[in-house]
Every structure is written in C-alpha cells, then in structure tokens.
Amino acid sequence: MSVAVRGAIGAPVDRLEGREKVTGSAKYAYEHEAENVLHVLGVAATVAAGRVVHVDERSVLDLPGVVAVLWHANAPKLSKETDPELALFQSDRVAYRGQWVAGVVAESFAAASGAERALRVEYEAAEHDSVLTDGHPSLYTPEKVNPSFPTDTSDGDVDRGLAEADVVVDETYRTPTEHNNAMEPHATLAIWHDGGVTVYDSNQGVRPVRQALADAFELDPDHVRVISPHVGGGFGSKGTPRPNVILAAMAAKVLGRPAKVAVTRQQMFSVTGYRTPTIQRVRLGATRDGRLTAIAHDVVEQTSLLKEFAEQTAVVTRMLYASPSRSTSHKLARLNVPTPSWMRAPGECPGMFALESAMDELARALELDPIELRLRNEPQIDPESGNRFSTRNLVGCLREGAERFGWKEAPARDGRWLIGSGVAASTYPARRAASQAIARAEADGTFTVGIAAADIGTGARTVIAQIAADTLEVELDRVRVELGDSRLPPAMIAGGSMGTSSWGAAVVKACRELRTRLADDLPVEVHADTADDSGGVEREPVSSHGFGAQFVEVRVDSDTGEVRVSRAVGVFACGRIVNPKTARSQFLGGMTMGLSMALLEETVLDGRFGAYLNHDLAGYHVAVNADIPAIHVHWLDEVDEHVNPMGAKGIGEIGIVGTAAAVANAVFDATGIRVRELPITPAKLAASL
C-alpha cells in the first residue's frame, strides 16, 4: 500500500504468537482454569433412531467423583428457538447414532470418562436409514444451498447442447463422508456470574457462539461473553457452535460451579459436523475442436432428520467455463445421520473433484491437452451472472504451473512403478462480510486494534497487525491486536475464506480514521463499521474469485495399486498476498488436505448400525509427512481492488480445490484406470492393473 514500514503488507512476518505457541504458554479453551471446576462429557446414543426410555443415574452416581447426570428428564428447558443440534436433552428422540443423549458431570476428567462408559441408557430403538443412494425415497429439492445460492439453475438448452456435441462425457463421481479433524478437539469452559455466562471456547467466531448461548438460555447477548484467544484449527467444524458450548453452560448453571467440556476425538465424528458424501453426475458436451456445448452437474447428497444442511456442490460449475448451455441441481436425502456442515471449501472442493475429473475425461476423448481444453473454454465474463470478473487469472495459473511443473512428460515406468501426471483448475469465491473494528492511539506511541476476529492457526492476528501497521504507516512492533473476545467489535467469522478480507477492510477503515485524529489528546479511539461499504473501488457489479492450477505427479505400484504422490505444484492468483509466509502455509495446508482427500480420507458408515466405523485417527487416515512429497506453491502478482482496500482475496480454502481431481487425472495418466470414487485406494486399482 503506501510506504515500506517494517512488517507492512507483503512482508513475510512470523506469527506474532508463535513463541507462546511453541513454548506451550498459549492457552487453548480446555486449558483455561477456574476454581472448583467440574468436568463434563457428553454421552453418545448407541442407537441410530428411536427414543431414550430411561437413563439410570444410579449406574454412575456411586462412582467416585461423579456428581450428576443430565438428561431429558432433569435438564433445564432451553428456548424453543435453540438450533436442533444444540437443543441438548430437550426430547427423548434420537436422530442419529452418536447424538448426545446425556451429560455426565464429575470432579475430574477421569471420573467423567468412567461415568461416560458406565452410564446405562435404555432405548426403544426404531428403524433407521443412514445410507445415501442416488435413488433414495426421501430425496427432495432444498429451497437453497449453502449459504443462500439457488438450488437449481438452468441456462440455455442442455439437451440440445448434448445432442449437438461431437463428444459427450456422462459419468458419475462419488465423494465419501469426510471429517474435519482439527488438531484441537472442541472444548468449552463455562462460568456463570450474576445473570450471565462467560465461556472460554474453541471456535472460528465468538459471535455465533455468543448468539447460540443467548438464544438457548434466553439471555441478553450482552450478558454472554465468549473468549477464544487461540484455536487449534477448525476447517469449518468450529464455524458453527457445537453442543459442547451448551453442555458446559448447562452443567455449570445446574450445578452452580464452573464446568468444562472436552469433546473426545471419537465424538468429533458425530457431533462436530462433517462433509456430506456426494453422488455427482456430470455431463459435458463439446465440439470436435474442444468447445463446450453443454455442462450439466446434478448432485445428490444428504442431510439429517434434525435440520437441513444443503451443500452447494455444483455452484462452481455455474461460473468456471463458458458454454452456451448449462444446468445444475442439488437433491438431499434425509437420513439418520449427524447434520453435515462446513468442511474446507464446502461445495467447491467435492464439486471440483467431479467437474475437473470430467474435464480430463473430455480432453482424453478429444485427444486434446487438458490445459488447452480449459483455455478454449475460458469465459470472458462470469457465465452465470454476466458480470465481468474483477480479476481472473486461471489462464496465467495454468501456464505458469505448466512451466514450473514441466507439463507434460509422457507417462513412464520405473520398475514396478507407473508414473503419470495430472492437472486440474482451482477456484474459490472472494467475498467479504460486514465487520467492525476499533483502532486506538495510546499515549505511549503504540497502537491497539480490536476486532472480534478468530485466529484458528492461520496467522490472522499477524496479518491484522500488518494491515494496521501498513495503514498507520508505523512499524509492526508498535501495533497490538486484540481478537477472540465477544466484547470486541463484531466481525465476520474465520470462514468462507473471508476473514482477512472482512477484518482487514474494517481495520483499514478504522486506522485511516485514526490517522486524522492523531493531533487530539491521546489516547484516542475510533470505531469503524464496513456494513454500508461497497466491495471495492467501483459500484458496478463484478464477480470476484480466486483462481489456481494444481499439478500432480503420481507413482502407482503396479502390483499393489498403492498410489504415492511424488510431486505437486500449485499456482494461485488470489489478489495481493498480505503475508507470504502465512499465505504459503495456507496454500500448502490446503493442498496437503486435498492430497489426503484424494488418497486417504473416508469415514466408513456401517448401514446396519448407522455407525461410523473408523471414528479415530487410527482408522480415519489423514495425510502425515510420509504421505506428502515436496509441494511447490507459487502465486501470480495480482491486486484486486474490488474485494477490499488491501487488494487481497481469501486464501484459506482454494488450496484444497481441484487437488483430488489432479491426483485422479494423474492416476489415469499412469495406469489408464479412471477412479471416479474417492479416495483412490489400492483396492480400486489393484484388480484392473
């Protein structure tokens, strides 16, 4: 932006709280202390449908250290407005296996843990149905898809586009249930005081947690305080409040003592959200010279019996490529499963596995280079809205990536290893939401910026300080950032890749205003609100998205079908990069999670019991160091002044988009086998090799 002060926008600043984190002094939710604290655990339903007939409190109350059991017969009534996933113990109904039907309260975590195992719960089980199929009888069309996109769209005549095509691809792709698995499990410490409650909680936004508590316990939101200075990851699962928040507050209220709840790793597979499985039919028609005549993307996915979550899986197909005809649709089955929710790039991530696999299949059918196919279908304007793109550098990413990756070596063989390469496009919307911030010039020459932002390990605290330092034109070490506290000005959550964009806009506004007040008596504080601000420099509607290109080389063991990724290159165009060090980590993390999705991640449901079988990190495999090769991350110089005054687009999610398709496309290149169902396990290859 303006001048080169140390630590300004563009500087590779270390995380400001890095020392606290590596020395262990940074406190996470469960580590906060309170005198006389109670330890509470949720107790999971062991049937997938039916009702709780009785909870035998005596089965645990005599155990040492056990204080109480909460369940629907004795739990305080919560407001009827409470979110159904948070309305703990308000009815005897069981909607899915793993739903919390009771809470055990004890003097220690060990005692609570013993009680959780020993508690006898009597159920009346009912028939359940937990398995998603594309012809499921409960399929229906939701009114909108997350967060508020139209469910179905249609533009031009797809049937005609397909009929007139020289080449048609019509295939169905499947992605499995996946769980977010942040390193820090969800946890809450609740402390009541006169008429209100303070919670220390692990979340992606203090405001939604505050609102959930206010709603459930019918409190003035000003009497609820949520504190969340450090969060060990979320990937979407902490973007919405989870039942640990309610259980901690409920136990603390009933027992009149502070209470803390830790969600166990196993319980994270039922009560903290997950990525819905998808069944996606993609139809592409193209002329012989590789111009699309039709794109159709029809998605089947699931929701729970408690509430609707409709993932926006096909939304990306509405804007990515030019085609005279285009249609998308979403249908949901209502099942005895936990309610799906956000997981890194909900919509774009699974949707692009299907679309970018199908584009590769089309390129093969046309005998056209897959990059060239994409270049031939690059739209001049947003095909859905007709708006121009604020900046769109997909072509640049593909070209730069091809150069850096060495696209494209012919597939090869090295002993029993088959070697191949794949490419896929990547994109994610660049949005921002209203946020407020304060900026204060202190009497000692330092500055304080306050905003209810969340740093979930991304470096948010650091980039907010950089944006403030840059705007104030002062060195970074004169700027202090306060975040993670609901008493601070309300702000967007750390979600939708909108954090930096939304918070930064408010911080710039506050700091610009503060600069005009520096002649006043110090300290002086200003408050800014971006609610009424337009997105950027012009009022003309534009479409803003980040873009990227993913290149992957795989080695496939021709005996076992084992796939090893040997190289990965990602090139992104996401506006100005505020901090190259933390940004690189975001792209690397996204790509790592995408490779993990491609080869490893799958939560396996046993339909007979409605139960997830691999509900821990021994059975649910996330990529570890040995799975991940050198990943090379690059970005194009870009400034997008439409999204926010920093010229930056969000980068938290785009790294995972398209990665799995690039892997599947590379596996095809190496083996001639097209795997249309993730993850790409040895079993799906071995039989055909």
CB-based burial of residue 322 (10 Å sphere; 0-12 exposed, 13-18 middle, 19+ buried)? middle
Number of amino acids touching ligand MOS (CB under 6 A): 9
Stretch that binds ligand MOS, among 81-89, 194-202, 339-347, 595-603 (CB under 6 A): 339-347
Interface segment toward ligand MOS; rule CB under 6 A; list 299-307, 342-350, 643-651, 659-667: 342-350
Per-residue contact flags (x/-) with ligand MOS for residues 417 to 456, judged by CB under 6 A: ----------------------------------------
* Spatial separation of the C-alpha atoms in residues 463 and 582, rounded to whole Å: 9
Of 92-100, 337-345, 367-375, 376-384, the window that binds ligand MOS (rule: CB under 6 A) is 337-345
Q: Which of 356, 384, 638, 653 is catalytic?
A: 653
Q: Is 496 in the site for ligand MOS (CB under 6 A)?
A: yes
Residue 342 interacts with ligand MOS (CB under 6 A): yes or no:
yes
Helices then strands, each counted (H, E), the chain: 14, 30
Instruction: Name residue 471's amino acid.
Output: T
Q: 392 phi and psi, to 5 degrees?
A: -145, 110
**SS3 of 173, please?**
strand
- 149's CB contacts (< 8 A; 6+ apart) are 312, 315
DSSP 25-47: -SPPGGG---TT-EEEEEEE-SS
Residue 103 lies near ligand MOS (rule: CB under 6 A): no
Candidate ranges 65-73, 286-294, 341-349, 657-665; the one touching ligand MOS (CB under 6 A): 341-349
Sequence-distant (6+) residues with CB within 8 A of 140 are 331, 332, 334
- Would you give the DSSP letter of residue 268? G
**Complex with ligand MOS: residue 346 or 490, whichever CB lies closer:** 346
Residues 309-328 that bind ligand MOS (CB under 6 A): none
Is residue 479 within the footprint of ligand MOS (CB under 6 A)? no
By the 8 A CB rule, do 407 and 534 touch? no
Taking the complex as a whole, the smallest distance from the CB of residue 237 to ligand MOS amounts, in Å, to: 8
Minimum distance of ligand MOS from residue 656's CB (angstroms)? 9
Q: Of the listed pieces 340-348, 390-398, 549-557, 615-623, which binds ligand MOS according to CB under 6 A?
A: 340-348
Shortest Cβ distance from residue 235 to ligand MOS (Å)?
Answer: 6
Residue written as token pair 């005809």: 325
What's the token pair of residue 146?
């997350």
- Closer of 307 and 413 to ligand MOS (Cβ): 307
User: Which of residues 620 and 668 has its CB atom nearest to ligand MOS in the complex?
Assistant: 620
> Would you call 653 a catalytic residue per the annotation?
yes
Distance (Å) of CA 343 to CA 276, 656, 657: 9, 10, 12
Angle between helices 348-366 and 580-599 (to 10 degrees): 70
- Applying CB under 6 A, the span of 127-135, 277-285, 336-344, 363-371 interacting with ligand MOS comes to 336-344
Binder of ligand MOS out of 243, 324, 340, 495 (CB under 6 A): 495
**Cβ(633)–Cβ(527) below 8 Å:** no
Residue of 7, 236, 370, 589 interacting with ligand MOS (CB under 6 A): 236
Cβ-based nearer residue to ligand MOS, 103 or 496: 496
- Measured from each CB, the residue nearest to ligand MOS is 236
Spatial separation of the C-alpha atoms in residues 658 and 171, rounded to whole Å: 17
- In the list 343, 419, 506, 605, the residue contacting ligand MOS (rule: CB under 6 A) is 343
Q: How far is the CB of 230 from ligand MOS (least distance, A)?
A: 17
Angle between helices 243-255 and 206-217 (to 10 degrees): 50
Q: Which is nearer to ligand MOS, 346 or 370 (CB)?
A: 346
The maximal CA–CA distance of the chain, rounded, in angstroms, is: 77
Within positions 175 to 214, which residues make up the interface with ligand MOS, using CB under 6 A?
204
Shortest spacing between CB 119 and ligand MOS, in angstroms = 33
Nearest in space to 152 (alpha carbons), one of 357, 293, 286, 313: 313
Is residue 239 close enough to count as binding ligand MOS by CB under 6 A? yes
* Burial zone of 222 (CB within 10 Å; 0-12 exposed, 13-18 middle, 19+ buried): exposed
Q: Which residues bind ligand MOS (CB under 6 A)?
A: 204, 236, 239, 342-344, 346, 495-496
- Report the catalytic residues: 653
